[in-house]
Amino acid sequence: MAAEDPVTMDKLVSLCKRRGFVFLSSEIYGGLGSSYDYGHYGVLLKNNVKAQWWRAMLQERDDVVALDSAIIQHPATWQASGHLAGFTDPLVDCRTCKLRFRADKLEEASCGRKPSKRPGETPECDLTEARDFNLMFQTTIGPVREEGSIVYLRPETAQGIFLNFKHYLQFSRKKPPFGIAQIGKSFRNEITTGNFIFRMREFEQMEMEFFVPPPEAAQWHGHWLEQRMNWWVALGLRPDHLRLRAHGAEELSHYSSATSDIEYEFPIGFSELEGIANRGDFDLRAHAEASGQKLEYVDGASGERYVPHVIEPAAGVDRAVLAFLSDAYDEDEIEGERRTVLRLHPLLAPVKVAVLPLVRKDGQPELAGEVYRALRERVQAEYDEGGAIGRRYRRQDEIGTPWAVTIDHQSLEDRTVTLRDRDSLAQERIAIDELGEEIERRLRAPWRSPKLAG
Ligand code: ATP
């Protein structure tokens, strides 16, 4: 049995703030609900997550191409996609405490009174009937605010892909099965907020629309479920914290004939990390009808034409960051001292290697500087010469740096250094000339979470 997992949401929020991963947005003005800013290490971690997604989607396949579409699209997009009519949450207001709740999540909400009760639970609660509330943010385009100038911030990146489908058939000479992948910001005026970066009003999505001949849709849905699950596991998420959950008929979105969620056991319990939907031909047909354009594949040789079906793996970048942080967070004891450590997969770690002179004299900082400049040519590295060596190790452990190089008096004599491993704490003596190769070798090696038992 593994030791009890020490992670809690409060500990993650506090580590993220203390070490500069994530801050509450506009904090000096008291913060803005469900908006967060990423600090230095958060940016590096998020970039690594996105780079690994692109790697799996593009570099390691030859049937997916990339797109970066506009956030503000023609408003007809949202009419055709069904978002104007259907992208809503049912809301109820309490006339007594003046708070607003999602009607389908009342059992998870707390009402305004203390001690906290569920909305509707006390005799004073006076809830309205549920009303539909659209989650899209509106703004206007152009200098005049008038009828026809209303536009929306996209609530998903997927529609930009459907709008460009025609271009891809022409320029990329792709034929189904093929996919178009995109990473970008999406916006939703979410009602149930809280839970840190799990649910934000402005967040990033990694979505891929995979266009297939209709008879092959179910088979490709299975393929993508497997691929995506393997991706999360290969990047270190513990398999016992992941599960697949198929949507029931009542839960399916208006466009979907089958959806399965990959759920991760966050500190708040099992929740959606990524959705993998079979969208059928709903979107291409809807946009073809609304735009009057033909959005279909025509086979040059046989003349066969059809509207492809679409399989969509849709993941959130911020939820991925939260899952990787939760999975990595650990506490242990070294020589009687408590340590907090992020056991991140080395490929995701914001900094791969820290270079630390043991003392700030005797030529050690100069040699350490030379080692650092050579290493940063290859990987994200950090130099730190301030304070006791133990404190500097602790700091790197807290940001998840997998390796630390220490320069000591022997280094000046024989050009060797010690290479310390974050998880095993093993320290090996290694020649400076071999360091870069060794770190790149370790980065490529398979990795398994040390939090897994056995
Ligand atoms: P939920 O049921 O949690 O609201 P959803 O089913 O509406 O999510 P999708 O529309 O399937 O989510 O979006 C795909 C992915 O985008 C989700 O799996 C999630 O990782 C991410 N995502 C969606 N909404 C948010 C949000 N408000 N904040 C952060 N990430 C989000």
349 burial level (CB within 10 Å; 0-12, 13-18, 19+):
buried
Q: What is the pLDDT of residue 164?
A: 97
Is 90 exceeded by the pLDDT of residue 60? yes
Among candidates 386, 341, 368, which has minimal Cα distance to 435? 368
Q: What is the pLDDT of residue 101?
A: 86
Is 90 exceeded by the pLDDT of residue 67? yes
Q: Whose CA is nearest to atom 10 of ligand 1?
A: 156
For 94-113, how does the pLDDT look when each residue is reduced to its tens digit (9 = 90+)? 888 888 888 888 888 888 77
For 249-308, how does the pLDDT look when each residue is reduced to its tens digit (9 = 90+)? 888 877 788 899 999 999 999 999 999 999 999 999 999 999 999 999 999 889 999 999
**How many of the other CB atoms lie within 10 Å of CB of 129?**
9
Please choose from 197, 203, 253 the residue to mutate so as to test ligand 1's pocket, defined by most ligand atoms within 8 A of CB: 203
Contact between residue 389 and residue 382 where contact means Cβ atoms under 8 Å apart: no
Q: Whose CA is nearest to atom 11 of ligand 1?
A: 275
317-328 and 40-54 helices, crossing angle to 10°: 110
Q: Whose CA is nearest to atom 2 of ligand 1?
A: 272
CB of 83 closer than 6 A to ligand 1? no
315 CA from centroid of ligand 1 (Å): 7
Contact between residue 444 and residue 378 where contact means Cβ atoms under 8 Å apart: no
Residue 3: pLDDT band by 50, 70, 90 thresholds? low
303 CA from centroid of ligand 1 (Å): 39
Q: Mean pLDDT of all residues in the chain?
A: 94
254 burial level (CB within 10 Å; 0-12, 13-18, 19+):
exposed
CB of 312 closer than 6 A to ligand 1? no
Q: How many residues does the chain have?
A: 454
Please choose from 187, 264, 319 the residue to mutate so as to test ligand 1's pocket, defined by most ligand atoms within 8 A of CB: 319
109 CA from centroid of ligand 1 (Å): 19
The residue-averaged pLDDT of 210-216 equals 97
Q: Whose CA is nearest to atom 24 of ligand 1?
A: 199
Contact between residue 439 and residue 403 where contact means Cβ atoms under 8 Å apart: yes
Q: What is the pLDDT of residue 454?
A: 62
Give the H or E element holding residue 129: none
For the CA of 274, the closest atom of ligand 1 is 18
Contact between residue 310 and residue 224 where contact means Cβ atoms under 8 Å apart: no
CB of 180 closer than 6 A to ligand 1? no
The residue-averaged pLDDT of 347-362 equals 97
Question: One-letter amino acid identity for 403?
Answer: W
412 CA from centroid of ligand 1 (Å): 53
Task: Point out the least confidently predicted range of 117-121, 226-230, 449-453.
Answer: 117-121
For residue 177, whether the previous peptide bond is cis, meaning omega lies within 30 degrees of 0, is yes
What per-residue string of b and e applies to 161-191 under the rule 16 or more CB within 10 Å gives b?
Answer: bbbebbebbeeeebebbbbbbbbbebbbebb
Q: What is the pLDDT of residue 300?
A: 87
177 CA from centroid of ligand 1 (Å): 26
Is 50 exceeded by the pLDDT of residue 43? yes
Q: What is the pLDDT of residue 314?
A: 98
316 CA from centroid of ligand 1 (Å): 6
Q: Whose CA is nearest to atom 21 of ligand 1?
A: 316
CB of 202 closer than 6 A to ligand 1? no
Q: What is the pLDDT of residue 111?
A: 80
Structure tokens at 159: 């529609």
Question: One-letter amino acid identity for 225?
Answer: L
Q: Whose CA is nearest to atom 22 of ligand 1?
A: 316
Contact between residue 87 and residue 135 where contact means Cβ atoms under 8 Å apart: yes
Residue 191: pLDDT band by 50, 70, 90 thresholds? confident
- Return the percent helix, strand and coil in the chain, to nearest 5: 35, 30, 40
Contact between residue 273 and residue 264 where contact means Cβ atoms under 8 Å apart: yes
CB of 316 closer than 6 A to ligand 1? yes
Give the H or E element holding residue 54: helix 40-54
CB of 190 closer than 6 A to ligand 1? yes
**pTM of the full predicted structure?**
0.94
Rounded to an integer, what distance in angstroms lies between the CA atom of residue 359 and that of residue 256? 62
* DSSP letters spanning 184-243: EEEE---SS--TGGGS-SEEEEEEEEEEE-GGGHHHHHHHHHHHHHHHHHHTT--GGGEE
